[in-house]
Amino acid sequence: MLPQDLYDPATFRATAHELVDQIADYLAGAGDADANSYAEPEATLAGWRDLLEKGAEPAEVFRRTLAQTVHIHSPRYAGHQNTPPAPLAALSDLLGSTLNASTAVFEMGRAGAAMERLVIETFAGLLELDDTAGGFLTSGGTLANLTALLAARAARWPAGDPWQDGQENLRPCVLVNEQAHYCIDRAVRIMGWGEAGVVNLPTDDDFRLRTEAIDDAVADARDRGLTPLAIVGSACTTATGSFDDLNALADAAERHELWFHVDGAHGAPVRLDPDRAHLVAGLERADSLIMDFHKMLMCPALTTAVFFRRSTDAYATFRQKADYLLSGATDPNDWSNFGRRTFECTKNNMALRVFTLLACHGPGAFRAYVRTVNDNGRRFANLLRARPDFELALDPQCNIVCFRYRPLDAPQTAGQLNELNALVRAAIVQDSPFYLVQTKLRGRTYLRCTLTNPLTTEAHLNELLDDIAERAAGLVGMAAL
Ligand SMILES: *Cc1c(COP(=O)(O)O)cnc(C)c1O
């Protein structure tokens, strides 16, 4: 086969129609389909190896992929934080991938650069950030947090320039909720600050950072020869969906002259819901903020925004010369070459996903989505409270709900309860129509649901609890427990 043959438009048309039909059938069947189909890694690998050796038609590759992937569009999906992408956003991705024009350089990705600016402007407005705010899109919350912390380092380094001269003679650190996402720790270690570079702050019963511990923690860090540069707020924490008190953190950052970063990967969009906007009061005081569109905003991964309160801070992060790419880009207002501010060199047109939804449906679609899935969190908590054999880990503030089965009439030791809930979760994943995950909080194993699918109803949630109760009751009867 000649390489030219792979570009045949007629073949593309036919294959694309076939694929769109498969996806439409998947969406049409999602209401009745299982959220998950489980098989062991080795069996899965063997099946794909076999297909690779035999060769396949595109339709077969697509069909098997659909069959062997978690179905986030199923209303019985209640697992990790991934959003079911709006089909329109996914469809826009086909165009973005076909064009493959990097949006880091304006000349290459003219449309994408303009869309990215407008997506950032629009969401800065929806999040009620200051007029001076600006930012860009990047590939995921993990990279976004690293990028923001690099900006914090550039802005708050006490003397000299770590980007230019390295970081000798300083032991910097950031203060953070002990429940913060592990990528904060990873970012700190990537910056070379080591284990001591993260100062974990204790949390209250609802896993929110104890703000009254900050002053002592700063003093203690300084006593130990560390230099605190930033404080990181979680909005919300990944495991429990707990929102730190951002105003109190902003006050502390001002008191101690620290950079204030907010990890809003999951929860920043609650600002779009008038009933829950108070959870992120103070968001506008953050020096930097990140937000994933692939968690709570109906877009395919990876699509993440990094916002800076002062747009110009973004330009200090990577001050590297790459004249062949960015000649003439010496003016900080040269917004159109996003590559000056992002980690990526080649960057796909992630703005297209958000822009398409915004332009075709308006911000109201995002508001409605955020409200619907968070309302499901409240609904689910109410169902759990009404069932005596279930226990919530905390009152959920959003669509992340942690709970466990704890049979009243068959008391268990702490260890047995942990094992019981882990076994229930394994049973659910391996052969039930539902998908959920688990987490460990202060030594206790909890089941964890993130309700990201707006098609999930109270009936589905009741069905899930019936399923768990039935399996758990069976396990309690077994000798091992
Ligand atoms: C999911 C998550 C991240 C990581 O984001 P990715 O897009 O998965 O890289 C970071 N912080 C929080 C609070 C998260 O929930």
Structure confidence by residue, pLDDT tens digits, 181-192:
999 999 999 999
Cβ(81) – ligand 1 distance below 6 Å = yes
Mutate to test the pocket of ligand 1, among 186, 208, 292 (most ligand atoms within 8 A of CB): 292
What 8-state DSSP symbol labels residue 434? -
Q: What is the pLDDT of residue 106?
A: 86
CA distance 390 to 388: 6
Least confident of 25-29, 46-50, 172-176, 343-347: 343-347
Contacts of residue 263, defined as CB under 8 A and 6 or more positions apart, other chains included, come to 141, 145, 180, 181, 184, 232, 233, 234, 235, 290
Give every strand in the sheet of 172-177, ordered side by side. 134-138, 304-308, 288-292, 259-263, 227-234, 172-177, 198-201
Q: Is it true that the peptide bond before 173 is cis, omega within 30 degrees of 0?
A: no
Residue 424 has pLDDT above 80, yes or no: yes
Cβ(105) – ligand 1 distance below 6 Å = no
Mutate to test the pocket of ligand 1, among 142, 240, 244, 343 (most ligand atoms within 8 A of CB): 142
Q: How far is the CA of 412 from the centre of ligand 1 (A)?
A: 34
Residue 479 has pLDDT above 80, yes or no: no
Q: What is the pLDDT of residue 100?
A: 93
Q: What is the pLDDT of residue 480?
A: 54
For the chain, give the longest Cα–Cα distance.
74
pLDDT tens figures, 208-240: 999 999 999 999 999 999 999 999 999 999 999
**How much is the pTM?**
0.95
Q: How far is the CA of 128 from the centre of ligand 1 (A)?
A: 22
Least confident of 330-339, 347-356, 381-390: 330-339
pLDDT tier for residue 321 given thresholds of 50, 70 and 90: low
Q: What is the pLDDT of residue 327?
A: 47
Q: What is the pLDDT of residue 168?
A: 84
Cβ(82) – ligand 1 distance below 6 Å = no
Cβ(242) – ligand 1 distance below 6 Å = no
Q: How far is the CA of 334 from the centre of ligand 1 (A)?
A: 29
Q: What is the pLDDT of residue 326?
A: 47
Residue 148 has pLDDT above 90, yes or no: yes
Mean pLDDT calculated for residue range 35-47: 93
Helices (H) and strands (E) in the chain, counts: 16, 11
Q: What is the pLDDT of residue 314?
A: 86
| DSSP structure string for 361-413 | H-HHHHHHHHHHHHHHHHHHHHHHHT-TTEEESS--SSSEEEEEE--TTS---
Q: Whose CA is nearest to atom 5 of ligand 1?
A: 141
Q: What is the pLDDT of residue 478?
A: 72
Residue 67 has pLDDT above 60, yes or no: yes
Contact between residue 398 and residue 411 where contact means Cβ atoms under 8 Å apart: no
Q: What is the pLDDT of residue 229?
A: 98
Contacts of residue 11, defined as CB under 8 A and 6 or more positions apart, other chains included, come to none
